[in-house]
């Protein structure tokens, strides 16, 4: 796409009228003369000349215009604009129905625009030029002269011009109402929030009201999308196609990363985050609530002797646990990754649905699942002047002591568990995978099942590590 | 406090030097002459005249200054400033050690300040004037001329002047380090977050990093505090003394209300909110985790026939519930207020601690407590052209059906409860209080204990309402 750009600051519209510009130039202020000179004292001729060059390789799809301040109060201004527009059509061999005129308002009354009284006149342009459109300046910031917009204002103004132009080209941004019809709200939204929404291609649509904010972006999985602000103060953005699954995301308000008020909150990235669930199809039913017996997710308070403080862990008990009051159950200890905590697997991971469904289908035996914070909520950062490897071994290491000395005994005392190694498993994601290796392989008398998902491993010598367990796994695990 | 204000835009420092100003005025540009005239062509004399007036009723505590642009590049500028300062001290009978000079930088290099090269020279002022201080312009927004600050920049600049002046007066804002020593982080903070903090008088201190944000406020219980931005991009604010208890709060970024990233999140105000727990003293131990047997807080999934969807409610079971597997328990249904949900009583209300402690002290019998969402997460708003009273009766009414038809039967089926009315209670806060009246008083066969805390009641005729139960409570409740 190309833009033919001809402009003179502070000029009256007469400067572009074929039969008026010569007279006008005689009255032009001193500071304008240099600018005029650059166009050989005939900006309109330059505009046509450039447009004809453009027509050699392209098609003119529209005319953008921004002027009016120096004609403030003149009710006949639209007719003068029409004169320029009609001349352009004739000189470039264009038809009005093919080439819209898109004209913007001057600095708005809502920002004390010096020439804001011109906007009602600009609004009458479509009465004179059928295929013309007026772009609102509502809410756009201005410079202290109240004549120019400020940088943020220009950016948003440009987006509004573009939105109108794209709409006329048939690739317009949908209205909120159109969006509502062909998208669904994300399941992760806050109560009563219609946005964010998802379409069938897994694009996410964001929309929120923040009239005084200067710059707003949405950051989904590290990709930042600039949001577009409309004249009423609503911001919107559309993402690329997203992969299915749960994604943390944030809003950037003037670069300051915050939670989207429209989203539920999830602890991840070492902080509370917004989240959006991009649903799988039918194949994702395994993690959805189904008409099967439902287990419970319990928060259990206990005192940690090793840390000398109260802690709360999360325990899943299978549906039958309430009824079979004599039966004992195997236990899986399930750990989250760095920057997450004991709530992750149940809140964003829907582990209770997955277990309920697996148990109902006979794909796993009823079991208790224990989820504690691995003491890695705050991201790993080695202290200055310390050895990074040594620091890494300290990071989250308190959890090993906690688990062996406090957590397992508490669970076995509180719940009807089997307490032998054959009935105790441990698994973990990422740093939780590292912790799983560190804890289970040094406590093989306590664990017989081990799972590490994307387990974080650093500098392990596979042959020697953990008494050579990786070199001969079968022998080692069986003891 | 008063400020004596004498200023000439765009002037050189020589205009305030006794032996230079007359010569300088001869060379002054045309546009300055009107301003000079207003001071009878001697701004310095006006300054002294006004200051002497001020001294009749007050004490001069400092001299604020902002100048330098028109002397850019002059290494001897500080000596010229010293000349003005020394003359002021002499003419006003002041001592340098009593009256600091506080001078600000010009528009900073980080905003492309036209005269930014002057700032290293301004920085040498304290080498010449012992009791002088330079206020950084780092990060302050500027107008498009890169000579003036913009409005937001001036506001923050003024705060920095004030912070320095207050510090010299011994009422300075503490540094983050000083704050750390005499305050403690709020218990409601996100993992690893040192702020917000509380002092012994229950003032809250906020501090966070948002270098590109233009305006930041913190809204605690509806009172907005402007935050102060330092030259590195850290914002801080101190609140009034807060009453003890849990408070929702928000940050306003350019007026856009968001959750403080430093806070845990809590569902309230119909949205996820930041929260700050202002602790009670020893008398608040009743809601703290104590060394007593601990009950569990369970999330229970069930299918609601009346709403044809799965729901999740929160159920507290007392500590002994796990062990006394034959014993049955009374049930309290406990409802939250408008704009809250089933998580409120356990998350921000610490109900599990309160119950654990009360039960351990024998102040209440072990009981099961059921907390569901009262279907009032989104605030009440009558539909247009509808009767507000009728609308109000619809708001949250779905919960009555849910509770009687789905929730109570599910609880009685899932848990070891007593199912007679003598062992079923209901209580609620605010709208939950209204729901308690509406549900229990129309189902007296099911409930024998009723509690409404600040229960929302609208237009009730106390004599007739609910078959006159309020007119003769004893008879009615007993049936």
Give strand pairing partners of B334.
B427
Q: Give how far A212 is from chain B: nearest CA, Å.
A: 6
A 105-144 residues inside an 8 A Cβ radius of B:
143-144
Residue in this structure with the two tokens 């100048």, named with its chain if needed? B67
Q: Given CB atoms, is A192 within the 8 Å cutoff of chain B?
A: yes
| Residue-averaged pLDDT of chain B | 93
The token duo for B419 is: 């199912």
φ and ψ at residue B185, rounded to 5 degrees: -65, 145
* Domain harbouring B261, CATH code: 2.60.40.10
- Distance set, CA A411 to CA A100, A342, A358, A407, B198 (Å): 72, 15, 23, 6, 36
Q: What is the mean pLDDT of residues B271-279?
A: 95
Question: Do strands A101-104 and A63-65 pair parallel, antiparallel, or not at all (unpaired)?
Answer: parallel
CA geometry: angle B417, B421, B424, nearest 5 deg: 50
Measured CA to CA, the distance from residue B20 to residue B42 in angstroms comes to 11
B322:A291 CB<8 A:
no
Angle between helices B77-91 and B43-57 (to 10 degrees): 40
Which of B53, B52, B63 lies closest to B16, judged by CA?
B63
| A328 vs B: CB within 8 A | no
User: Minimal Cα–Cα distance from B214 to chain A, Å?
Assistant: 8
Query: Is the same domain home to A348 and A271?
Result: no
Residue A190's closest chain B neighbor by CA? Answer: B271
Q: Taking a C-beta distance cutoff of 8 angstroms, is the pair A91, A45 a contact? A: no
The answer to whether residues B235 and B207 touch, using CB atoms and an 8 Å cutoff, is yes
Host H or E run for residue B465: helix B465-468
B104: closest CA among B61, B67, B144? Answer: B67
Cα atoms in the 13 Å half-sphere on the side-chain side of A416: 18
Residue A272: its chain B contacts at CB < 8 A? 190, 259, 261, 263-265, 272
Q: Report cis status (omega within 30 of 0) of the bond before B331.
A: no
- Nearest by CB to residue A190, choosing from B271, B297, B415, is B271
Tens-place pLDDT, residues A55-83: 999 999 999 999 999 999 999 999 999 99
- Smallest CA–CA distance from A266 into chain B, residue: B265
Residue labelled with tokens 């207020």: B337
Region class of B170: left (phi > 0), else alpha (psi between -120 and 50), else beta: left
Strand B197-198 and strand B228-229: the pairing is unpaired
Write out residues 369-428 of A within 8 Å (CB-CB) of B: 377-378, 414-415
CA-based nearest residue in chain A for residue B256: A210
What's the CA angle centered on A268, arms A265 and A273, to 5 degrees? 35
Hey, is the C-beta of A49 within 8 angstroms of any chain B C-beta?
Answer: no
In-domain check, residue A108: yes
B318 and B445, same structural domain?
yes
Q: How far is CA B354 from CA B3, B275, B290, B363, in A?
A: 55, 19, 10, 11
- Strands of the sheet containing B331-335, edge to edge, are A449-453, A424-429, A331-335, A368-371, A309-317, A296-304, B296-304, B309-317, B368-371, B331-335, B424-429, B449-453
CB spacing of A210 vs B414 below 8 angstroms: no
Distance (Å, rounded) from C-alpha B145 to C-alpha B30? Answer: 20
Check if the beta carbon of residue A411 is closer than 8 Å to that of residue A370.
yes
Q: What is the CATH number of the domain that holds B438?
A: 3.40.50.1820
Flag if B301 and A294 touch (Cβ within 8 Å).
yes
| B290 and B382 co-located in one domain | yes
Residue B263: helix, strand or coil by DSSP? strand
pLDDT of residue B57: 92
Q: Are residues B251 and B300 in the same domain?
A: no
A272 close contact with B: CB closer than 8 A: yes
Residue of B nearest to A347 (CA): B299
Residue A174 counted as domain residue: no
Calculate how close chain A gets to B210, using CA atoms only, in Å: 6
- Which of B251, B279, B307 delimits the end of a domain? B279
pLDDT tens over chain A, length 479 residues = 899 999 999 999 999 999 999 999 999 888 899 899 999 999 999 999 999 999 999 999 999 999 999 999 999 999 999 999 999 999 999 999 999 999 999 999 988 999 999 999 999 999 999 999 999 999 888 888 899 998 888 988 998 899 899 888 887 667 778 888 899 999 999 988 999 999 999 999 999 999 889 899 999 988 999 998 888 889 999 999 999 999 999 999 999 999 999 999 999 989 999 999 999 999 999 999 999 999 999 999 999 999 999 999 999 999 999 989 899 999 999 999 999 999 999 999 999 999 999 999 999 999 999 999 999 999 898 888 999 888 988 999 999 999 999 999 999 999 999 999 999 999 999 999 999 999 999 999 999 999 999 988 877 787 888 888 888 777 665 55
**Which of A299, A323, A326 to mutate to test binding with chain B, by most B CBs within 10 Å of its CB?**
A299
Check CB contact of B298 with chain A, cutoff 8 Å. yes
B314 with B462, same domain: the answer is yes
Of the partner residues A272, A310, A415, the one whose CB lies closest to the CB of residue B190? A272
Q: Which residues pair with B314 in a beta bridge?
A: B299, B371
Domain that holds residue A408: 285-478
For residue B182, the surrounding DSSP H or E stretch is helix B176-182
Any domain includes B212: yes
Distances (CA, A) of A61 to A50, A97, A159, A397: 15, 10, 17, 64
B398 pLDDT tier (thresholds 50, 70, 90): very high
Residue A477 is predicted with a pLDDT of 59
| DSSP at A406 | I
CB distance A415–B257 less than 8 Å?
Answer: no
Contact between chains at B257 and A261 (C-beta distance less than 8 A): yes
Domain-located, residue B399: yes
Both A376 and A429 in a single domain?
Answer: yes
Contact A408, A304 (CB under 8 A): no
The shortest CB-CB distance from A378 to any of B192, B212, B271 is to: B192
**Rounded to a whole number, what is the distance in Å from the CA of B473 to chain A's nearest CA?**
37
CB-CB neighbors (< 8 A) of B210 in chain A: 254-256
Q: Name the helix (H) or strand (E) containing B132.
A: strand B132-135
Q: What is the mean pLDDT of residues B179-185?
A: 91
| Cβ-based burial of A180 (10 A; exposed 0-12, middle 13-18, buried ≥19) | middle
- Indicate yes or no: CB of A258 within 8 angstroms of CB of B261: yes
* A363 within a domain of the structure (yes/no): yes
CATH number of the structural domain spanning residue A116: 3.40.50.1110
In a domain, B206, yes or no: yes
Is B346 in the same domain as B244? no
- β-pairing, B449-453 vs B424-429, is parallel
- Residue A295 CA to residue A359 CA, distance in Å, equals 10
pLDDT of residue A470: 81
CB-nearest partner of A301 from B264, B294, B322: B294
Whether residue A148 sits in one domain with residue A94:
yes
Of B257, B291, B378, the CB nearest to A191: B378
**Number of separate domains in chain B:** 3
Q: How many CB atoms lie within 10 A of CB A32?
A: 17
Residues B303-316 as b/e (b if ≥16 CB within 10 A, e otherwise) read ebeeeeeebbbbbb
Q: Does A5 contact B at CB distance below 8 Å?
A: no
Q: Both B295 and B189 in a single domain?
A: no
Structure tokens at B2: 């008063």
Residues 195-224 of B with CB under 8 A from A: 210-214
B177 — pLDDT class (breaks 50, 70, 90): confident
Write the DSSP symbol of residue A363: S
Contact B428/B336 with Cβ under 8 angstroms?
Answer: yes
Residues of chain A contacting residue B254, judged by C-beta atoms under 8 Å apart: 210, 212-214, 253-254
Q: Distances from the Cα of B104 to the Cαs of A215, A454, A478, B392, in angstroms?
A: 29, 54, 74, 58
Stretch (H or E) spanning A63: strand A63-65
- Does B176 map to a domain? no
Which range is most confident: A83-97, B215-229, B376-390?
A83-97
Q: Are B198 and B158 part of one and the same domain?
A: no
Contact criterion met (CB < 8 Å) for A298 and B298: yes
Are B127 and B134 in contact, with CB atoms under 8 Å apart?
Answer: no
Residues of chain A neighbouring B143 (CB-CB closer than 8 A): 143-144
- The reply to whether B347 touches chain A by the CB within 8 Å rule is no
Decide if A291 and B303 are in contact by the 8 Å CB cutoff: yes
pLDDT value of position A471: 81
A127 assigned to some structural domain: yes
**Which one of A279, A308, A337 terminates a domain?**
A279
If pLDDT is split at 50, 70 and 90, which confidence band does B60 have?
A: very high
- Shared-domain flag, residues B300 and B443: yes
pLDDT tens for residues B424-478? 999 999 999 999 999 999 999 999 999 999 988 877 787 888 888 788 777 665 5
Picking from B253, B271, B291, the nearest residue to A254 by CB comes out as: B253
**Are A253 and B253 in contact (CB < 8 Å)?**
yes
Residue that terminates a domain, selected from B231, B259, B279:
B279
Does residue B120 sit in the same domain as residue B251? no
Cβ-Cβ pairs closer than 8 A, A with B, add up to 129
C-beta atoms of B271 and A144 within 8 A: no
């Amino acid at each position: 796409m190309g833009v033919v750009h001809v402009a003179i600051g502070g000029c009256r519209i007469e400067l572009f009228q074929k039969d008026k510009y010569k007279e006008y130039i005689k009255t032009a202020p001193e500071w304008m003369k240099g600018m005029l000179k650059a166009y050989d004292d005939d900006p309109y001729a330059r505009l046509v000349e450039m447009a004809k060059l453009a027509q050699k390789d392209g098609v003119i799809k529209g005319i953008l215009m921004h002027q009016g301040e120096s004609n403030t109060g003149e009710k006949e201004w639209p007719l003068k604009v029409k004169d320029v527009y009609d001349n352009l059509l004739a000189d470039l061999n264009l038809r009005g129905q093919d080439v819209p005129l898109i004209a913007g308002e001057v600095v708005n009354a809502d920002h004390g625009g010096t020439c804001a009284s011109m906007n009602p006149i600009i609004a009458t342009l479509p009465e004179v030029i059928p295929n013309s459109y007026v772009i609102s300046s509502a809410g756009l910031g201005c410079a202290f002269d109240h004549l120019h917009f400020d940088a943020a204002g220009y950016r948003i103004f440009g987006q509004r011009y573009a939105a109108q132009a794209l709409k006329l080209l048939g690739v317009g941004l949908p209205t909120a109402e159109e969006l509502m019809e062909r998208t669904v709200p994300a399941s992760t939204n806050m109560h009563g929030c219609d946005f964010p929404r998802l379409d069938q291609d897994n694009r996410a649509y964001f929309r929120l009201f923040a009239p005084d904010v200067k710059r707003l972006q949405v950051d989904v999985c590290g990709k930042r999308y600039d949001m577009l602000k409309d004249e009423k103060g609503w911001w919107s953005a559309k993402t690329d196609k997203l992969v299915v699954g749960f994604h943390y995301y944030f809003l950037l308000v003037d670069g300051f990363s915050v939670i989207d008020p429209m989203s539920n909150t999830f602890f991840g990235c070492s902080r509370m985050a917004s989240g959006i669930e991009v649903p799988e199809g039918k194949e994702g039913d395994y993690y959805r609530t189904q008409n099967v017996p439902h287990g419970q997710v319990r928060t259990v308070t206990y005192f940690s002797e090793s840390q000398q403080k109260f802690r709360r862990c999360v325990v899943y008990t299978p549906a039958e646990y309430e009824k079979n009051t004599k039966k004992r159950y195997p236990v899986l200890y399930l750990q989250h990754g760095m920057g997450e905590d004991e709530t992750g697997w149940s809140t964003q991971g829907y582990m209770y649905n997955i277990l309920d469904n697996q148990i109902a289908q006979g794909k796993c035996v009823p079991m208790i699942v224990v989820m504690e914070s691995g003491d890695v909520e705050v991201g790993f950062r080695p202290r200055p002047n310390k050895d990074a490897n040594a620091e890494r071994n300290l990071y989250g290491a308190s959890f090993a002591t906690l688990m062996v000395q406090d957590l397992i005994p508490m669970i076995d005392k509180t719940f009807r568990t089997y307490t032998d190694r054959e009935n105790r498993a441990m698994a973990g994601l990422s740093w939780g995978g590292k912790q799983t290796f560190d804890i289970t392989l040094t406590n093989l008398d306590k664990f017989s099942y081990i799972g590490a998902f994307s387990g974080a491993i650093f500098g392990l010598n596979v042959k020697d590590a953990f008494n050579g367990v990786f070199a001969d796994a079968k022998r080692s695990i069986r003891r």
